C-alpha cells in the first residue's frame, strides 16, 4: 500500500502542474451538491493484529463547484462532511451473571469536515454521457471522534485516539449526464490519508485513513459558455 500512497501523491502533483499551466476559461462554471457512502478501514495499524478491523460504512456529502479551464480540464473543489474510521466487528454481550444476551457491533467513528481540491478531466463525447477523471489533495478537519456500540448494547462515548487533521489525496472515475440546466454526476473515488494519525498509542505507531467513496449529485450551470 506504500506504492499506492506514492501513486496518489504523484498524481496529485501532476494535477497541480497541469492546472498551473492552464490559463483560459472556455466554458461555464457549475455549482452543486453530491451525496453518497464511504467505505473506510484504518490502514497500517498494529491494532488489527489484536482486534481485526472491518470496513465502516458512513455518509459522505457536501457542496462543490466546478470551474472549467480549457475545453476538457477544470478544478473541482468544495466542502464536505465525511464519516470515516473502522469497525471493530461483532462481540458477544453478557449480563452480570455471564449469560449471553446477544451480540453488538463496535465502531470507531470519526466525523470530518473535508475540503477537496481536484483536478478534473472530462472526455468530450457525441452522446449525453461524458466520462471524467478527478485527482488531487484533500484537507480533513476532525469534528468529533466516538466509539459507538449498536445491537445488544446501544451507547457511545467520545474518544481522542487520532490526530485532528488529515492531509490526504483522492483519485476517481465518474460520468456526467446532461440533464436539464446542468449535469447529473456519478463518482467512484479511492481516498487515502497521508498523515500518520497515531496518537496516545492506541493504534500503535502508525494509522491512516483509507477507503472508497461512491457518490452522485447534480450541478447547475451558472452562466453561458464563453
Handedness of CA 20, 22, 24, 26 (dihedral sign): negative
Q: For residue range 58-99, what is the model confidence (pLDDT) as tens digits? A: 999 999 999 999 888 999 999 999 999 999 887 776 667 777
Indicate whether 106 pLDDT > 60.
yes
Q: What whole-number percentage of the chain has pLDDT above 90?
A: 58
Residue 66 sits in a domain of what CATH number?
A: 2.40.160.20
Q: Give pLDDT, residue 95.
A: 66
Q: Is residue 43 part of a domain?
A: yes
Phi and psi, residue 2, nearest 5°: -60, -40
- Domain assignment present for 123: yes
pLDDT (average), residues 102-110: 88
Per-residue model confidence (pLDDT) at position 116: 97
* 70 within a domain of the structure (yes/no): yes
Between 25 and 226, the higher pLDDT residue? 226
User: pLDDT tens across 12-40, in order?
Assistant: 444 443 333 333 333 789 999 999 999 99
List, in order, residues 6 or more apart from 20 with CB less than 8 Å away: none
pLDDT of residue 93: 65
Taking alpha carbons only, the member of 32, 116, 14, 33 closest to residue 73 is 14
- Whether this prediction's pTM lies above 0.85 is answered by no
What residues make up the domain containing 205?
A: 2-20+28-221
Task: Please determine, for residue 205, whether its predicted confidence score (pLDDT) is greater than 90.
Answer: no
How high is the pLDDT of residue 91?
72
Domains identified in the chain, total number: 1
Distance CA 8, CA 169 (A): 6
pLDDT in tens, 165-178: 999 999 999 999 99
* Pairwise CA distance, residues 224 & 28, whole Å: 6
Kindly report, residue by residue over 125-155, the tens digit of the pLDDT.
Answer: 878 899 999 999 999 999 999 999 887 677 8
Task: Please check whether residue 90 lies inside any domain of the structure.
Answer: yes
- Classify residue 202: in a domain, yes or no: yes
Is residue 89 assigned to a domain? yes
Q: Is residue 51 part of a domain?
A: yes
What is the rounded (10 degree) CA torsion for 168, 18, 60, 213? -80
pLDDT band at 8; cut points 50, 70, 90: very low
Say whether pLDDT at 101 is over 90: no
Q: Let me know if residue 226 belongs to a domain.
A: no
Amino acid at each position: 500500500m506504500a506504492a499506492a500512497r506514492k501513486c496518489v501523491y504523484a498524481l496529485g502533483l501532476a494535477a497541480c502542474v497541469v492546472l498551473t499551466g492552464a490559463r483560459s476559461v472556455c466554458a461555464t462554471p457549475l455549482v452543486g451538491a453530491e451525496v453518497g457512502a464511504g467505505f473506510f478501514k484504518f490502514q497500517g495499524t498494529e491494532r488489527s493484529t489484536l482486534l481485526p478491523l472491518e470496513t465502516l460504512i458512513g455518509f459522505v456529502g457536501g457542496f462543490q463547484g466546478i470551474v472549467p479551464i480549457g475545453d476538457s480540464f477544470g478544478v473541482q473543489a468544495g466542502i464536505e462532511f465525511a464519516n470515516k474510521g473502522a469497525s471493530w466487528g461483532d462481540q458477544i454481550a453478557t449480563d452480570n451473571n455471564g449469560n449471553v444476551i446477544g451480540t453488538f457491533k463496535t465502531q470507531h467513528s470519526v466525523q470530518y469536515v473535508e475540503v477537496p481540491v481536484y483536478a478534473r478531466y472530462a472526455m468530450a463525447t457525441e452522446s449525453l454521457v461524458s466520462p471524467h477523471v478527478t485527482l488531487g489533495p484533500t484537507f480533513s478537519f476532525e469534528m468529533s471522534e466516538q466509539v459507538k456500540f449498536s445491537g445488544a448494547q446501544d451507547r457511545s462515548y467520545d474518544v481522542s485516539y487520532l490526530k485532528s487533521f488529515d492531509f490526504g489525496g483522492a483519485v476517481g472515475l465518474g460520468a456526467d449526464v446532461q440533464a436539464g440546466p446542468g449535469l447529473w454526476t456519478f463518482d467512484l473515488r479511492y481516498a487515502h490519508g497521508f498523515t500518520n494519525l497515531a496518537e496516545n498509542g492506541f493504534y500503535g505507531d502508525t494509522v491512516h485513513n483509507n477507503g472508497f467513496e461512491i457518490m452522485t449529485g447534480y450541478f447547475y450551470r451558472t452562466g453561458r459558455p464563453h
